[in-house]
């Protein structure tokens, strides 16, 4: 069965977005995002998807969550909600692929409230930028630390759900 990972980059002040874009410039973290998600299924809220510099992201199945009935694309799977039913459908269509919940905040919040992710891959970015979107509150008692890998300007934390 597919693994479901939530992947995010979070500044020291909890900020993840500003005016529809990332609030920091961290090319090495973008490279990590690409390396990690290539070959997988990436799920985005419509705001995050619209803010991507390249759409759809190449080498990955792109899934967009939107309530907009006219949002349509031949290259993107579109769902009108994020639910266990949607996840079951993604797993059914792509049983061999890892599924990545790629944000933004509303999608992270919904995914966490439904206990969808098995794993969190969190880049902790060493800056305190201005922003208008924060990562949702996380109950770390429900997560077991797996690894922390330091990089220049950020570190990558991996956490697995406590069973």
Single out the residue of 87, 105, 111, 156 in contact with ligand NAP (rule: CB under 6 A): 105
Which residue minimizes CB distance to ligand NAP?
104
Q: Is 9 in the site for ligand NAP (CB under 6 A)?
A: yes
Q: Is 137 in the site for ligand NAP (CB under 6 A)?
A: no
Q: What is the Cα–Cα distance from 87 to 39, expressed in whole angstroms?
A: 17
Q: What is the Cα–Cα distance from 63 to 83, expressed in whole angstroms?
A: 13
Q: Is 112 in the site for ligand NAP (CB under 6 A)?
A: no
Q: Is 110 in the site for ligand NAP (CB under 6 A)?
A: yes
DSSP line for 68-104: -TT---SSSEEESS-SHHHHHHHHHH-TTSPEEE---
| HSE value, Cβ hemisphere, 13 Å, CA-based, for 121 | 18
Q: Is 66 in the site for ligand NAP (CB under 6 A)?
A: yes
Residues that bind ligand NAP (CB under 6 A): 8-9, 16-18, 20-22, 45-48, 51, 65-68, 80-82, 102-107, 110, 133
């Amino acid at each position: 069965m597919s693994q479901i990972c939530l992947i995010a980059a979070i500044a020291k002040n909890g900020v993840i977005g500003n005016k529809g874009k990332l609030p920091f410039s961290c090319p090495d973290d973008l490279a990590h995002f690409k390396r990690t998600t290539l070959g997988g299924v990436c799920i985005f809220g419509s705001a995050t998807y619209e803010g991507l510099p390249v759409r759809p992201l190449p080498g990955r199945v792109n899934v967009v969550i939107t309530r907009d009935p006219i949002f349509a694309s031949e290259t993107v799977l579109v769902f009108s909600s994020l639910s266990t039913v949607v996840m079951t459908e993604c797993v059914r269509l792509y049983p061999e692929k890892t599924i990545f919940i790629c944000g933004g905040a509303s999608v992270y919040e919904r995914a966490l409230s439904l206990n969808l992710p098995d794993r969190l891959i969190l880049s902790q970015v060493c800056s305190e930028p201005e922003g208008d979107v924060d990562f949702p509150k996380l109950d770390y008692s429900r997560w077991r630390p797996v690894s922390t890998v330091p990089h220049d300007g950020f570190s990558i934390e991996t956490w697995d759900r406590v069973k």
